[in-house]
Amino acid sequence: MPDQLAYRPCVGVALINREGCVWIGERKRKRGDEQLDARSWQMPQGGIDEGETPLAAAKRELWEETNVRSVELIAEAPDWLSYDLPPDAHKRWGGKYRGQTQKWFLFRFLGSDTEIDVHRPADGHHSAEFADWRWESFERLPDVVVPFKRQVYEKVSEVFAPLAVPSSGERGED
């Protein structure tokens, strides 16, 4: 019974640029992912390793998925946010989890867009999870994610959008 299973502990990363826009990546299509459509975008996220703090996991996941390391922490969401997997996805993670519970972090990107490499993330040591990426406004996030993550993205946007103000620092090379 899926509703009796635990949630997988994870992190999520909202990465904003100097203009206050948030990074989103388009999930790579895999066989059986016919459902991917215009709502196949998401922010970096992933599991917390044994003995790892959520903040360390957020920085690791960001690097493993985007190749980005030039960041500064702006905020941590006060609550863990959870979502349930849709019925056709209950076999993910060996069927051990009903969904994910996530601790979200907001980082400012300090590098240039050339640092971002979704095709060879983690300096080529990690498999690509995204086919493409772009900068987007927080307000649009709930409309571009898969429906079962919408509620989490609405809350992340509510918490972090007021903090996503343009920075006055020097602009990096794009």
- The model's pLDDT over 60-106, given as tens digits with 9 standing for 90+, comes to 999 999 999 999 999 999 999 999 998 877 777 788 899 999 999 99
**Beta-bridge mates of residue 130:** 27
What was the pLDDT predicted at 173?
Answer: 47
Rounded CA-CA distance 154/89 in Å is: 22
How far is residue 131's CA from residue 172's CA, in Å, rounded to a whole number?
Answer: 23
Residues of the chain with pLDDT under 70: 1-2, 30-38, 169-174
CATH number, domain of 135, equals 3.90.79.10
How many domains does the chain divide into?
A: 1
Q: What are phi and psi of 167, to 5 degrees?
A: -90, 160
> Cα(103)–Cα(172) distance, rounded to whole angstroms?
29
173 domain-assigned: no
Note whether residue 169 is domain-resident. Answer: no
Beta strand extents in the chain (DSSP E only): 6-16, 22-27, 41-42, 45-47, 71-76, 81-84, 97-109, 130-136
What are 26's two structure tokens?
A: 């388009």
> pTM to 2 decimals?
0.89
Confidence (pLDDT) at 129? 94
